[in-house]
Structures are given as structure tokens and as C-alpha cells.
Amino acid sequence: MAVEVWKDGRRISTQALLSSSFVIGRDAACDRVLEHPSISRRHAEIVRSDDGEIRVCDLDSTYGTTLEGVRVTEATVVPEGAALQLGLSSRTFKVVASPQEEEEEGGDFPASFGKRRSRPGTEDEASKRRRHQREIAAMTREMLEKPPSWEEREEPPPENEELGRRGFPASREVVFGGLSKKTVSCVDVDPGGARVAVGSLDKKIRLYDFGGMDGSHLPFASKEPDDGHAVVALSFSPSGDRFLCCTGSAQPQIWTRDLSFLLKFNRGDPYVTDATRTTGHTTMVTGGQWQPHEKMRCGTASVDGTVRLWDLCGKTGLRDFLYCEQTIKCKDAKARKTAATSMGFSPDGKYVAAGCADGSLQLFQVRGRAHAYRRPDARAVAHAPGTDAAGACVSCARFSPDGNSVATRGDDGYARLWDVRKLAMVAEFPDLPTHHATANLAWSPDGALVCAGDDRGRLNFFSAAGAWHESRGGYEKVASLESSNASICCVVWHPRIRQIVCGAAEGVVKTFYDPEISTNGALLSSNRKINATRRNADDIVVSGAGTIINPNALPMFRNDQALRKGRYAKTRNDPIKSRKPDPPLERGQQGRNAGPRSTFCQYYVETHLPQSIREQNPREELLKYADAPPIFRTDATFYRDKEGNKVFHTQTAEEEAEQASVDDQKKNLLSHAFSKPGPS
């Protein structure tokens, strides 16, 4: 008997059953070593009894053994050619009869039974049989001499394969390279699913292109957008030609998809108490997102307690810094300023959800430029007090694809779903611990699932609507995927390529996909060979950096004679160091001594035009004004007219008023005395 190994409909190897026991497992002492995560150390045993009957026994394996789709619980007879599958491996084992046994079974028949007469010049059946037996014997000796064959680990982990069967794009994974050991704080994918932007706490942005990457998955561009500030949020525009970069500073930036700088936002005046009177953020920016349908509008949130809306075609100020268009102020239950820790637009762009440091979720309807956002349209306490004394920080607020729900996540270890129409909580998902300020969650493209990572390095999937919600009977955890040993910080579920990109601590970025569900993206680069000539952009910069040593500065290469010669030439050209004597005077020379006057014009200028004040005698100049009348008021000139006569009032103010009234009475009497009498 022999064991055939099949995969994808073709036989890849054959191994003879030379003993009564044939053990399959991951242990090196097994007869057939199968390296797969779902295979136990000693997984199954194929036993051959004395009567020639073949049986299979499962050796208490974790994922079990199936025979023609039926799980084996006890010793079961294996029919010839039956398919035997171990765990979740894609290999199929079949027990078949060897050619020697087929010959022995036909030994009772005559030698001429069923035999055709050989044609002249052809090999007869007996010689063919003998040649075939020699080949089988040689193959058996080769198998005995060779060590047990190891199967390459080409299949995904068992839980990933199980998720792929249930419709999750998680059966395969790709690990990005070229990252540091710092935590990956934010990840975003452009609308077309061609490029991935990764920001981390090492203060750098890295861009990956699925279409141009090879098997090493290195970034094609890397840059530090703002010196000394970590990257906290990235968001591509709807057109995909640019993206918003929010750092720990108060000035977000706009970069192109090729990592070229475009625009920088203005910084507000920190001494203005009213935040609406400033044209930008005054403190650290905590998040930002592009408007879903406007390629020239975006929004940002900051610790200064505002969510600001920006128009890239709007007004700019000093050094072409962009001014904000609208300012939304976030306040707590006591109408005090509270920091805005996250924000997000609705799919139609008509609403803005703001997560605050006091644990509240606030909804604002986007209105015109002149509107003053004095209070939110709806407000709810989303998360209970946690690390913050005033409340749990809301690190993420994301609308569902249909816009009817909002998912929030806080540092209290919970994720909650809210109905936007009445802002009521409809579900909460516990056991999501995180210590990252930028920890987020992601919706599936159909809005039926919510995906979030935790500090244990697992991706958790929760049912939110649709068939998953109905089959599970409510909002609960559907599946959990072991992603990495480091805590997961950010997750993106792209709706077009059907792939999940997650960033974790220790500089880990992975893309999960399923060949049956996903399109393009990681499928383009996963099967490419590694280009040996290509290097990481960061490595190229580091390899070129260092101390530049001038060979001539070393003592062994120094030419002291040449140095002395050059120093002597410089000294000779310097008139002061070389004590060069004065040259003879020439005609018209403007030097230490004036040359002879050669023209009448020069004589007239020197003798008639006024000279500078340095050449005047101060005493003679002052004596010119000794007999002149004073031009300033003194005690002798006060209260005098031009002729020098004193001018004083002869009456007081009361006397002048009384005299004025007497004069008026006299005028009235004179006017009545000379007036004509009227008709009687």
C-alpha cells in the first residue's frame, strides 16, 4: 500500500506504507511531517492490520481528522482511494494499492489471461512489468534514504482560513516593511485603493503603492512633515490626489499623493479668549477628516475645544497660511470649554460628529458661513469616566455607511453604537482595552460589521446590522483574529478593494485580504519577487549621512610649504600688515592731502559754497544772535502785543456779564423810542 498526497486536484507526492503504522504530524519523528498550524505534533495514525485492512485513528488532535467529510472519532476503516483530510490543511491523503500488490492479486489467473499478442518489434507485457517493478523498488529505496519530507507553510493560519470562509477578508496577510519600531498612529488608503499612507510616532509619513511594490513591500516615499511633532491623523481627499496631515502642532498641512507639500493652515492667536475670533487652532490638533463629497473642504479637531472647517480655496494670510472658514465650539454639560479629541463627517457631509475629552458625543449640522455654532444639535455622554478625571476620552467617532449610526470608542475599553436620529445608544461592545490616543474602529462596506483592535493584538469583529445581526440575534462579537503580538492602534476597512489595513505598535502594518473577496490592493504585490536592487528610502538617506572627512586636513596629506606660501601672498596684498608706504600724490587725488586745484570751478566750489558745520567756530556763530530779538516767549514778553504794550483784562467775568446786560437794555430802550406808533 502507498499514501498519495494531493493538492489543488493534482498529486504532489507518494510514500509507501512499509510498516504496520504510519504516523502523520508536526513532530520530526513522524513518518510524514506536515508543517501546518492546525496540525498537532502527532495528529493521526494509519494502521495496517494482519488481514490487510487499513484503518485511520485520530490521536486526540485539536482540529480533528475527517474521512470523506466525516470526522473520525475512533478507528475507522479507510476504503481504497478515500480522501483523508487533517485539520484545516489543504492537503488530501489517499491510501491506494501499490503496483506490487496489484500483481500479487492477479497471480491466480493464467499468465495469458487478458493478454494481447505483442506486435513485432514492441516490448511484451512481462518486460514492462519487470521494468515497472524496478522503478517502484528504486523509488522505495530513495524514500527510505531521504529524511521525512516537510511541507512548506503556504497556507494561512486556521483561524484566518475560517474567517475567509465566513466572508471576512482575512484569510491572507501582507506585512509592510521600511518602518521603525515606533507605534503606527494612523493609516489611510486613497479612494481607489492604490496607495496607503502611514503615519507613526517617529514623526514621519510613508507612502506605499500596491502597483509598484515588490515582495518586500517597501515605501516609495518617506518624509517628516513637521519637525518635532508626531503624526496623529491622515485622510485622503475624495479625488485621491492629496491628503490631509494632522500632527501634534496647531497647523495641519496638505500634501499631494506623491508627498509634495501644498498648503499649511494658519495658527490662531492664543491670547484671544473667544475661539471664533481666531483664524486657526491655537493648540495641538487631535484629528481630522476630509469632507466625503468636497475635494476642497476638510475638518480638524483640536485640544483648544474647537472643530474647524477649512476651504482650500478660502482666504490666506501671512506666508500664504490658510484661514479657517467656520469654527464649532465644543462644551461640556456645564457650558465650559472641553477638548475635541476626534471628529468625523457623515457620508453626505451634512453632519459633523465630535468626540470630546469629557466623554461626550456631540452632533452638529453643517450650515452657512455666517452661522454661529453656539450649542450642538444633539449631545450624549458616550463613555464613562476612565483615565481622565472628568470623563473618558473619545478617541474615535465614525458614521456608518448609511449615515444612520455613529460608532464611538473611548479609553474606557468600550465601543458603542448610537442612533443618529434620536442619539440613543443601541449597543455596546466591551473588552476593547487600549492606551492609544488615536485608537479607532472601522465599518464594513455594507455597514453590517464593526472592526476594532485592542492591546492584545487582536482584531475584533462585531455584528451591527444585516444578515450577521439577524443570525446572531443581536449586537455581539462575531469573530476575533490574532493579528500581531503588539497592540493594534488604527484600522481601515476599504470598501473598494475589500481589504483591511491595520497599524500596531512596534512599527507593524498589515493588510488582510482574501483572494475570493478582495480585488487588487495587496493581491498585486503579494506574488511578486523581491527586487534585490531596490532599497528602502530611509536606508538610502541613512547610508549617505555621516561625517565628511577632508583628506587635506589630515597631517599626512598636509602641505605646509604651500600653506606658508599662500599666507605670505595674502600678507603682501594687505597694505596694513605689510606696512605699505603712501604713494606719491597725483593731480585731483582725493587722498590724505588734496591735490592742486587745476580748474576755476574747483576754486569757486571750495571758496564760496558753504562748508560743513565741523569747520565753523561755535563762539562766532553764537555771537551772531547776541543783539537779535528773542524768538521764544520769556517772562518779559508774556501778555504783550506786537508793540510791546501789556495786555490785561480790566473787568472780571461777572462785571463783564453785568455790563453786557446793561448794554442790551439800552439798545432795547433806544429801539422802542424811535419806533413808529401803530394804527389805533
Which tens digit of pLDDT belongs to each residue from 624-639?
888 877 666 666 666 7
pLDDT at 327 over 90: yes
Looking at the predicted structure, is the pLDDT value of residue 679 above 70?
Answer: no
Please state the rounded mean pLDDT for residues 612-626.
Answer: 84
What the block records as the C-alpha cell of 646 is: 501789556
CA atoms within 13 A on the CB side of 288: 32
Interval 333-359: pLDDT, tens: 888 999 999 999 999 999 999 999 989
What length does the chain have?
680
Query: Which residue, among 291, 295, 299, 297, has the nearest Cα to 330 in the 3D structure?
Result: 299
State the average pLDDT over residues 208-224: 90
State the Cα–Cα distance between residues 342 and 326, nearest whole angstrom. Answer: 17
pLDDT greater than 50 at residue 289: yes
Among the listed ranges 501-510, 534-543, 549-558, which one has the minimum average pLDDT value? 534-543
**Quick check: 178 and 537 in contact, CB under 8 A?**
yes
Lowest mean pLDDT among 486-495, 613-622, 625-634: 625-634
Confidence of residue 472 (pLDDT cuts 50, 70, 90): low
Which residue in 305, 382, 380 sits closest to 337, CA to CA? 305
Assign 3-state DSSP to the chain and report helix, strand, coil percentages, each to 5: 20, 30, 50
Please state the pTM of the whole predicted model: 0.58
Overall average pLDDT of the 44-69 stretch: 85
> What is the Cα gyration radius of the chain?
47
Q: Which three cell numbers stand for residue 632?
A: 521764544
For position 641, what pLDDT does the model report? Answer: 73
